[in-house]
A and B are shown apart, each in its own frame.
Chain A
Amino acid sequence: MHALANPARFLKIARPLTPILTLGGAGLATVGAWAGLTQTPADYLQGDSVRILYVHVPAAWLGMGGWMGLAIACLTQIVWRHPLAGIAARAIAVPGMVFAGLCLATGSIWGRPTWGTWWEWDGRMTSMLVLFFLYAGFIALARASDGQDGAAEGGGISRVTAIFGLVGAVNVPIINRSVVWWNSLHQGPSITLRGSSIAPEILWPLALTALGFTLLFAGIVLMRMRAILAGAKVEARMRRMAAA
């Protein structure tokens, strides 16, 4: 990890990787979505509305996984002061928020024909909404504390923002276990480490969309990291020119 501490070395790897991840991810997600819409049978209970699974589950996975990535980056910034950790946390926040929002929206759209309601204040939906607001809070805090301490220089985040990112990770296991801990309209866990309760003929396109959207997410994070690094470079040069 410390081999990537040098932004120039990181950029050397990130430049060719960005289009590969973005285009590969978009291609896989498109094929998975097409298969989910046309190649799988309708569910015996939910009918065709089960097809929303192929976009809803990857959005949920990336909303939660995004915050775990953000929290690891914040921990790396606090403990090792890795120069790219704060930039990675900042880069993850926006796509993480978008996918958390998509999870809420597609879940709500799925809920109307399946449960007969757009929204229910139960454990799963409320904790996911909390995650969405945590992302918004992280983005606001990162912007508000720009340049307030040494760590926030060069496009990184302040110590307070990093602690916020770390503490917010408490919400992720709450989202995951909410359907077990509380009675909910939301179905229980269908995919666990022990296997899946979803029929294989319905499940397979989900692997394609989940992998596709994950690669796409990684491509977006690299784009944002490159933009933040370039912006920090411009700012530093302007400061040097103004001082000269």
Chain B
Amino acid sequence: MNAWPFIAAAYGLTGAATAALVGWCWSAMRRAERAAEALRRR
């Protein structure tokens, strides 16, 4: 059995899930810190 489609699926899934997690956490952090800063200035 050719293993390369399975290898591509495993690496693709890991890369996509990790990138999505980092992107989501980064944007949530920036949004929350901006909201806290805006409220502090009010």
Q: Which A residues contact B (CB, under 8 angstroms)? A: 18, 22, 26, 29, 33, 37, 47-49, 51-52, 55-56, 59, 94-95, 98, 101-102, 105-106, 109-110, 112-113, 213, 216, 219-220, 223-224, 226-228, 230-231, 233-234, 237-238
Contact = CB atoms under 8 A, between A and B. Distances in A.
Closest CB pairs A-B (n = 5): A230-B32, A49-B3, A227-B29, A223-B25, A230-B36
Interface in B11-34: 11, 13-15, 17-18, 21-22, 25-26, 28-29, 31-33
A234 B39 contact: yes
B36 A234 contact: yes
A10 to B, nearest CB: 14
Contact of A233 (B15, B28, B29, B36): B36
A105 B32 contact: no
B13 A106 contact: yes
Contacts of A94: 21, 25
A237 B7 contact: no
B15 to A, nearest CB: 8
Contact of B7 (A26, A51, A98): A51
A94 B20 CA distance: 12
Contact of A227 (B13, B18, B25): B25
Contacts of B21: 94-95, 98, 220
A22 B33 contact: no
Interface of B: 1, 3-4, 6-7, 9-11, 13-15, 17-18, 21-22, 25-26, 28-29, 31-33, 35-36, 39-40
Question: Would you call the interface of chain B mostly helix, strand, loop, or mixed?
Answer: helix
B32 A220 contact: no
A102 B14 contact: yes
Contact of B29 (A113, A213, A223): A223
B42 to A, nearest CB: 9
Contacts of A227: 25, 28-29, 31-33
Contact of A56 (B10, B28, B32): B10
B13 A102 contact: yes
B3 A113 contact: yes
11 contacts: A18-B29, A55-B14, A94-B25, A95-B25, A98-B21, A102-B14, A102-B18, A110-B10, A224-B29, A233-B39, A238-B39
